[in-house]
Chains A and B, each alone.
Chain A
């Protein structure tokens, strides 16, 4: 079993929809939770990170972490065609730089 599980999709939504992306994990030592966006032929770009449990909002993006359930989510409001990309969750233990990634969810926002 992989330490981080992510539904690979693909996910296709109409423009303006709310998108929910999720990951589950098994390692209770994970404390840092990141969401990356990766466009085709590009490297991952950090969208948001959260330390421990809780919510964090940045514009149209909201990240949630539920450590009791070992479940994290990324919500995208008012989705735009430019949001079409692969979204990767990543996690790390405190004091460690090695990230554990989900396999990514490919999102397409249809105009």
Chain B
């Protein structure tokens, strides 16, 4: 089985712009979660989608949003980028539930200048 794929792998944006990141889960997986990883804060949960519905949301501002399509692929969007949004954005997929069943992609490295 192919693993979780994320595109693009690297991205450079300017403050104030918006960005869309994409995640393709493992075939058959219906849950996709997004995390932000920074050196200071580590990995922090952004949100989880299951069957096209947001099932859980972390403590991030409304500039961070996401969606999931009928084929389970997911996108996350960050509007009005700030310097502090520079991070590695990881998505993880799982079949249905079980926090121990999440498989992570390689991440998208976002740099905001």
**Interface set of A (CB-CB < 8 Å, partner B):** 32, 34, 36, 41-46, 49, 51, 88, 90, 92, 95-104
Contact = CB atoms under 8 A, between A and B. Distances in A.
Contacts, number: 64
15 contacts: A32-B100, A43-B104, A44-B90, A44-B104, A46-B103, A49-B100, A92-B99, A97-B48, A98-B33, A99-B99, A99-B102, A100-B45, A101-B35, A101-B43, A104-B42
Given A97-B94, A98-B58, A102-B42, A34 B106 contact: no
Interface in B49-100: 55-56, 58, 90, 92, 94, 97-100
Interface of B: 4, 31, 33, 35, 40-45, 48, 55-56, 58, 90, 92, 94, 97-100, 102-107
B91 to A, nearest CB: 9
Given A97-B94, A102-B42, A43 B107 contact: yes
B42 A103 contact: yes
B103 to A, nearest CB: 7
Given A43-B4, A97-B56, A98-B99, 20 more contacts: A32-B100, A34-B100, A36-B104, A43-B90, A43-B92, A43-B107, A44-B90, A51-B100, A88-B42, A92-B99, A96-B56, A97-B55, A97-B97, A97-B98, A97-B99, A97-B102, A98-B45, A98-B58, A99-B102, A103-B42
